[in-house]
Amino acid sequence: MEISRTQSILVTGAAGFLGSHLCQALLAEGHSVVGVDNLSTGRMANLAELSGESRFDFVETDICQPFDVGKVGYVFNFASPASPADYARLGPETLYVGSYGTRHALEIARRHAAGFLHASTSECYGDPDVHPQNESYWGRVNPIGPRSVYDEAKRFSEALVMAFHRYHGVDTHLVRIFNTYGPRLQPTDGRVISNFMIQALLGEDLTVYGDGRQTRSFCFVSDLIDGILRLSRSSEHLPVNIGNPEEWTILECAREVLAVTGSQSKIRYEPLPQDDPMQRCPDISKAKRLLGWEPKIALRRGLELSLPYFRSSLAQAGRHARSGQS
């Protein structure tokens, strides 16, 4: 669905890592954006660059309650804790935002006949026994394990989005997002790239969980946002994988971080968390075919592009610690 520049676009989870980049990209295209966030894991600092922008409004609210931001032409639903550490801490809240929150965001799209794009996840595939994962694979998810609060919230959201499409005719889209990294990834959220970058810059050991042979495929944030914007304008209603199909073991990823930072840090092995997927790699043939999209930024380059951000987050944390002591 073409988004008219005269209508506002609603982004839930606007103060998050992906939400803030999405708001910025939409503003750069000339749209007006209303960003909503309850700041449970999002940070106002992520929106600092947008604060002077007259076409951007921010509303602090929890989408688990019904909410209203006036007429909108498109809804991007990105609100959810997303790192394993965050959703372990906010288990019920993660399930609520994926159910009540998604419902309220969908009701807004339905009320205004707006387009709707939901941020889903490769976690829908669980610990997959199909490799690489394509969209027709139904997944291997533990429905009651520690990751279930996230996985099942996202799977429920997908079902609800499809129901609003099928029963209420809402023009919906589902993106299954694979591991993404870049500036604004929260340095303390426990994810692998943020942990390794911060550890390397501090000269601390890099904590590799398990034997480090589990794999992930890392997409740089600008590539991901490009894919999402293309999907939002397509006529595809079924899920589409967006991610970088270059697959790395976690040990290889640690070595890339050491190379980019020039750090002398050592590797320290720690226990593998329960239900940690052993392999993850997107099959992106559908995105290539339907959207003419593929990622452009390889891991080494993306880490180089992220380095100044991680350096400055550390410098800021140091300043805060020093001013807290004084």
Residue 264: partners with Cβ closer than 8 Å, 6 or more residues away: 203
Strand partners, 32: 8
* 269 is a contact residue toward ligand UDP (CB under 6 A): no
Among 10, 22, 114, 250, binds ligand UDP (CB under 6 A): 250
* 230 is a contact residue toward ligand UDP (CB under 6 A): no
Nearest-approach distance from CB 114 to ligand UDP, in angstroms: 30
- What are the angstrom distances between the C-alpha of 23 and each of 33, 45, 48, 175, 223? 7, 14, 12, 17, 15
Among 32, 186, 214, 279, binds ligand UDP (CB under 6 A): 214
Scan residues 142-171 and list those touching ligand UDP (CB under 6 A): none
User: Which is nearest to 75 in space by CA: 121, 8, 130?
Assistant: 8
Nearest-approach distance from CB 77 to ligand UDP, in angstroms: 19
**Identity of the residue, 35 or 239, whose beta carbon is nearer to ligand UDP in the bound complex:** 239
Please tell me which residue in 137, 150, 269, 309 is annotated as part of the active site.
Answer: 150
**CA separation for the pair 33, 76 (Å, rounded):** 10
**CA separation for the pair 117, 122 (Å, rounded):** 16
* 191 is a contact residue toward ligand UDP (CB under 6 A): yes
What are 277's two structure tokens? 């997927």
Nearest-approach distance from CB 183 to ligand UDP, in angstroms: 16
**CA separation for the pair 40, 80 (Å, rounded):** 9
Secondary structure class of 208 (helix, strand, coil): strand
Q: Is 269 a catalytic residue?
A: no
Q: Kindly list the residues in this chain that would bind ligand UDP in the complex (CB under 6 A).
A: 83-84, 179, 190-192, 195, 207-209, 214, 216, 250, 272-273, 276
Catalytic amino acids?
150
